[in-house]
Structure 1
Amino acid sequence: MEKLIFLILFIALTSHGESWPQFRGPTGQGHIEAADLPLNWSGNKGVTWEQKIAGKAWSSPICVNDQIFLTNAVLNQGNLILELISVDFITGEINWKKKLFNYSKQPRIHKKNSYASPTPFYENGFVFVHFGNLGTACVSFNGELIWNKKLNYLPVHGSGASPVIAEDLLLLSTDGSVDPCLVALNKKTGDIKWKAIRDSKAKKNFSFCTPLVIKVRGETQIISPASDYVFAYDLNGNQLWKFNYPNGYSVVPRPVFNQGIIYVSSGYDSPVLYAIRCGGRGDITQKNLVWKTRKAAPRNSSVVVVEGLLFMAADNGVVSCLDAQTGELYWIERVAGSCSPSLIHANGQIFLCDETGKTFIFEAKKRYRLLAQNDLGERMLASPIIYKNSLLLRTENTLWRIDS
């Protein structure tokens, strides 16, 4: 039944076209259909266009109706400006920039983070952006500000979790140093509808994980990993269940749902990947564990499941292929350098970017086969996206459109 529900959800999410409306694509789990994807490129080969972006941000772009949206952070004479940028997919030209928040001081963040790391979310003509406690906003497709709000919480190392829409709610993970919680805003006004306080006593409260909304036997569940536990909530903010991963904190990888199983990583310091049977009530730690592995588990990169195979990239570039149902290891290979971007899949091919600007393409099969390796020569922490058979890559200073 869960497989059928997931298939229906996937069809519904992809039926509006080839759009990439949120972090990790149409389903939020790294999948999209594409027919003729590029395999080989470099800084001067296979590049349809490149657009320089002044500023620094590690958010991934999204793309809808031939318009690319990406958040950005610019320092101008000591002022921190947080903005949303629209880029034309066809030409690569900047359509507009919308300044959303302005600060005279720069708050402390981790050296690997930016002030604009969460990826936007698009729905029905509106773009929702989030900069942690520095501001959240809704902007129209044409750049008109609909609303903006600021949430009062204390992040550690800055922000990282991307916004997610579920019916009339805008979901935001606000796992700071005190009172960590999942917050739901009214997506039309930005007003707070509810806060779900984390039911845990973690030693380190802070995490950066983007929630995933799923259906289990007809019931909508918000899967929200945090420090020490992954939680499931209903649309009213009531906790349905929780699962403990001891001492896990600074959780980054977005969860994946496949055939009734949720896959989550416990984050720092020593990550463990857990496969959890979704369902039940209360603390399901003892009865719902399917399998777990510590070997080459990711701290930052989100996994992808393809036809019963789970692929994951550890922070040091070691990639593993496991049986998604049993955890059996089929292969493990050092593929890339240091990895933060998440894996994406299209038509039997997996794309993995590392922090040096290289992209590795390999087959989504039980045996490892590298198809191509490409280098743009510029630092990259943002995850790649696919739109209309093009690959869109955001490096430290540039947005690239790559084609066959």
Structure 2
Amino acid sequence: MHRLLFVRVFTPTLRILLGICLSLSTLTALQAENWPRFRGIGGAGISSEKGFPLKWTEKDYAWKKELPGLGHSSPSIWGDNLFVTSAIGEGENRYLFCIDPKTGEEKWRREMQLKKSHKHRKGSWASSTPATDGEHVFVEFADEESYMLVGYDIKGNKIWEQNLGPFTSQHGHGSSPIIYKDLVIAANDQQGPSSVSAFNKLTGKPVWQADRTVRRTSYATPIIINHPNTNPQLICVSGATGVSSLDPETGKVNWTTGEFPMRTVSSPVYGEGLIFATCGGGGNGKLLIGVDPTGSGNVSETHIKYKRSTKLPYVPTPIVYEGHLYLWGDGGVVSCVDLATQKNVWTERVDGGYSSSPVCINGILYCMSETGEVAMIDASPTFKSYGKVELNDPSHATVVVANGRMFLRTFRNLYCLEAK
């Protein structure tokens, strides 16, 4: 009798509720498979997707597409749309491409005319990764006269653009936009007037602007963190401000560590309750700090919980994974730190020069070298290398994974490798 009653109650009332729950779970899972910004969801550089090989050859790619010009940006992906940028000449022609991630077929491209401009020998005029929410895509391009933030709908129609003013930099432009709720946020830390700004993603209308102290240009992309004891925080880094927390709704500063001694290129990363950020110069990281984000005001004496000054990345962004911090150096020296004890677990050399950032896919770190080799090692307190796969084309772009596919961007090509 009780069993029969359960069945009758379960059908139809609970069946509807169960269907709703399953639909929501499916939606969440699908969202988690996308790669909507630089270094994926939250800028963490972590994916749980499985099935990617540790060795492959040219014949294993689902497709390969040549991209015109040069670009160091990574793709961003949502569903059936992949977005990537490129530039031709000396920066006078910049492109945003929309590509079908299943086939490599180009859906549309949009061109923007800017002025010729200088760049670092390792840089490009298309180093900024687009940000997408599945319905829109936002991209940044800059020259000495203009810093452009442009929004398109999914079909490639321009919905708005904002010129943030002149962009003064020793090495060119490199940070990427991010999306938070109905806002698009741009970090504009440069040698001229600097700010962090938020715009309505549908209209481009300015929502807030936080002026910043001016020093050297920062190439770091911000992140949003959700600490259990605070409201959401927008985390930005620059040499002039160090690590700083802003209210993403208003731009009000929550706290700051005070200035870094050198330039910031690597982006901040959050894990195990701490924010990690580096500064450096000359191809080497000089200082890394781990900051507890629960403070207010100047937290330089109270909330910096970890410091390190040796064997650090300058350009590559660290990874926090399962209680460990992984530091992939520009010169191919990689370290693993136990965050519970703050002790260095291992330091190993994988060789090569690296201007991309590692990503962690199902517990394995993938990082693309400047000569176009994909190096793979375990994200584990026990060091294990899986060797390298040669792409025969230089690269400064970070590996991307979404919806069962890995995307490898080199100077001239975009490769797609499917999971099995």
TM-score, normalised to structure 2's length? 0.87
Contact preservation (8 Å) 1:40, 1:46 = no
Q: Distance in 2 between matches of 1:355 and 1:318?
A: 14
Of the two, which has the highest radius of gyration? 2
Single out whichever of 175-184 and 14-23 deviates more from structure 2.
14-23
The answer for the alignment partner of 1:150 in structure 2 is 163
The answer for the alignment partner of 1:3 in structure 2 is none
Question: Residue 206 in 1 paired to residue 217 in 2?
Answer: yes
Calculate percent identity across the aligned residue pairs. Answer: 29
Which structure would you say has the larger RCO, counting Cα contacts within 8 Å and 6 or more residues apart?
A: 1
- For 1:111, give the aligned amino acid: R
Question: Residue 102 in 1 paired to residue 113 in 2?
Answer: yes
Residue of 9, 12, 36 corresponding to 1:21: 36
Contact preservation (8 Å) 2:209, 2:251 = yes
The answer for the alignment partner of 1:343 in structure 2 is 358
The answer for the alignment partner of 1:252 in structure 2 is 265
Q: 1:33 to 1:130 in 2, by over 3 A?
A: same
The answer for the alignment partner of 2:135 in structure 1 is 125
Please state whether the residue corresponding to 1:148 is helix, strand or coil.
strand
Q: Distance in 1 between matches of 2:136 and 2:253?
A: 29
Q: 1:124 to 1:68 in 2, by over 3 A?
A: closer
The answer for the alignment partner of 1:327 in structure 2 is 342
Aligned pairs for 1:5-404 (under 5 A) are 16-42=31-57, 44-75=58-89, 80-99=92-111, 101-103=112-114, 105-132=115-142, 133-156=146-169, 157-198=171-212, 200=213, 204-216=215-227, 217-228=229-240, 229-234=242-247, 235-249=249-263, 251-268=264-281, 270-403=285-418
Instruction: Report the CA distance between 1:385 and its aligned residue.
Output: 0.4
Contact preservation (8 Å) 1:153, 1:174 = no
Contact preservation (8 Å) 2:238, 2:260 = no
Q: Distance in 2 between matches of 1:375 and 1:367?
A: 25
Please state whether the residue corresponding to 1:219 is helix, strand or coil.
coil
Instruction: Report the CA distance between 1:62 and its aligned residue.
Output: 1.2
Q: 1:379 to 1:232 in 2, by over 3 A?
A: same
The number of aligned residues is: 385
Q: 1:79 to 1:163 in 2, by over 3 A?
A: closer
Q: 1:84 to 1:279 in 2, by over 3 A?
A: same
Residue segments in structure 1 that go unaligned for 5+ positions in a row: 1-10
- For 1:173, give the aligned amino acid: A
Contact preservation (8 Å) 2:244, 2:256 = yes
Q: Distance in 1 between matches of 2:203 and 2:265?
A: 28
Single out whichever of 389-398 and 79-88 deviates more from structure 2.
79-88
Instruction: Report the CA distance between 1:297 and its aligned residue.
Output: 0.8
Please state whether the residue corresponding to 1:60 is helix, strand or coil.
coil
Contact preservation (8 Å) 2:147, 2:166 = no
Instruction: Report the CA distance between 1:124 and its aligned residue.
Output: 3.9
Contact preservation (8 Å) 1:38, 1:391 = no
Instruction: Report the CA distance between 1:244 and its aligned residue.
Output: 3.0
Q: Distance in 1 between matches of 2:203 and 2:194?
A: 23
Instruction: Report the CA distance between 1:15 and its aligned residue.
Output: 5.0
Q: Which runs of 4+ in 1 moved over 4 A?
A: 11-15
Computed over aligned residues only, the root mean square deviation of the Cα atoms, in angstroms, reads 1.9
Q: 1:17 to 1:205 in 2, by over 3 A?
A: closer
Q: Distance in 2 between matches of 1:119 and 1:262?
A: 22
Q: Distance in 2 between matches of 1:291 and 1:374?
A: 35
CA deviations on 1:330-359 (whole Å, 9 max, x unpaired) are: 111111311111111121111111111001
Instruction: Report the CA distance between 1:325 and its aligned residue.
Output: 3.7
Please state whether the residue corresponding to 1:380 is helix, strand or coil.
coil
Contact preservation (8 Å) 1:317, 1:337 = yes
Q: Distance in 2 between matches of 1:14 and 1:268?
A: 40
Instruction: Report the CA distance between 1:27 and its aligned residue.
Output: 2.5
Instruction: Report the CA distance between 1:111 and its aligned residue.
Output: 2.1
Q: 1:17 to 1:30 in 2, by over 3 A?
A: closer
Residue segments in structure 2 that go unaligned for 5+ positions in a row: 1-25
Contact preservation (8 Å) 2:128, 2:141 = yes
The answer for the alignment partner of 1:6 in structure 2 is none
Single out whichever of 262-271 and 300-309 deviates more from structure 2.
262-271
Q: Distance in 2 between matches of 1:53 and 1:60?
A: 13
Please state whether the residue corresponding to 1:135 is helix, strand or coil.
strand
TM-score, normalised to structure 1's length? 0.90
Q: Distance in 1 between matches of 2:357 and 2:378?
A: 16
Single out whichever of 376-385 and 45-54 deviates more from structure 2.
45-54
Instruction: Report the CA distance between 1:192 and its aligned residue.
Output: 2.5
